[in-house]
């Protein structure tokens, strides 16, 4: 079967919506022709499919209510539970978020691929896989100029592996000496005194 052609399952209903599985044995596009592509496809009209519209910083995004709820426990509570956001005319307003960031968040929710802007919203909406992807990516960029800032971020968002990577980096005397001279280290001592004390205790041992 050529790239871009798929086999389609029989339709089934979940969450009040009609779905099907699309299987591309040679990828859905040329860039992934050496791989199998598998998609969960919403098998109904767009007008019926959009379960919720969100307004973020003046921009409106259409999304599937059931998809947001399935991917995020926070969205589930906001859309269905006791935390349900008040909306006007079917539009849910999300405060304190940049539209570009929300677009990246939707990109991850629908594709499970890593967006460029992600860390804090992964924490805010309890998207654990997104948080782990962000942690792994940040671990690649730890250096003497940013290790203190990243360590503070790891502590604030409970990113244990990222915190460990920072402490391992600072266990080198040369790295520690260079990092102490940075403004980030002063920020760490003010914003996360417990981590600062933990670092001192680690070095003492």
> Token digits for 189?
């001592």
Is it the case that residue 124 has pLDDT exceeding 60? no
The listed CATH number (3.30.1390.20, 3.30.710.10, 3.10.25.10, 3.40.50.11540) that belongs to domain 50-113: 3.30.710.10
Confidence of residue 115 (pLDDT cuts 50, 70, 90): low
- The answer to whether the beta carbons of residues 13 and 48 sit under 8 Å apart is no
Assign domain 141-204 to its CATH architecture.
Answer: Alpha Horseshoe (1.25)
Tell me the residue ranges of DSSP E strands in the chain.
7-8, 12-14, 17-24, 37-42, 52-56, 59-63, 87-88, 91-94
Say what the pTM is: 0.46
pLDDT of residue 141: 86
What is the tens place of the pLDDT at every residue in 37-85?
999 887 765 444 456 777 787 888 878 777 887 777 777 777 766 445 4
Matching fold, domains 50-113 and 141-204: no
Q: What are the extents of the domains in the chain? A: 7-47, 50-113, 141-204
pLDDT of residue 14: 80
What is the tens place of the pLDDT at every residue in 136-163?
888 888 998 889 888 988 888 788 888 9
Average pLDDT over residues 161-172: 90
58's CB contacts (< 8 A; 6+ apart) are: 99
pLDDT-wise least confident of 16-25, 101-110, 160-169: 101-110
pLDDT of residue 49: 46
Integer Rg of the chain from CA: 22
pLDDT of residue 205: 66
Please, what is the average pLDDT of the chain? 78
Is it the case that residue 129 has pLDDT exceeding 80? no
pLDDT of residue 38: 92
Distance of alpha carbon 63 from alpha carbon 61, whole angstroms = 6
Is it the case that residue 119 has pLDDT exceeding 60? no
């Amino acid at each position: 079967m050529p790239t871009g052609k798929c086999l389609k399952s029989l339709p089934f209903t979940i969450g009040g919506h009609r779905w099907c599985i699309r299987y591309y044995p040679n990828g859905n596009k040329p860039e992934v022709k050496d791989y199998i592509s598998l998609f969960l496809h919403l098998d109904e009209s767009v007008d019926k499919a959009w379960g919720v519209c969100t307004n973020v910083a003046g921009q409106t995004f259409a999304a599937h209510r059931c998809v947001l709820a399935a991917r995020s426990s926070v969205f589930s509570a906001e859309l269905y539970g006791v935390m349900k956001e008040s909306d006007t005319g079917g539009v849910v307003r999300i405060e304190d978020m940049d539209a570009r960031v929300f677009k990246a968040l939707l990109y991850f929710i629908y594709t499970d691929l890593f967006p460029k802007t992600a860390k804090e919203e992964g924490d805010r909406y309890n998207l654990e896989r997104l948080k782990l992807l962000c942690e792994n990516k940040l671990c690649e960029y730890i250096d003497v100029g940013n290790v203190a800032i990243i360590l503070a971020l790891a502590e604030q968002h409970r990113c244990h592996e990222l915190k460990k990577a920072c402490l391992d980096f600072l266990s080198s005397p040369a790295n520690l000496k260079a990092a102490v001279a940075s403004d980030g280290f002063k920020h760490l001592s003010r914003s996360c005194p417990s981590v600062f004390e933990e670092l001192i205790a680690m070095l003492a041992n």
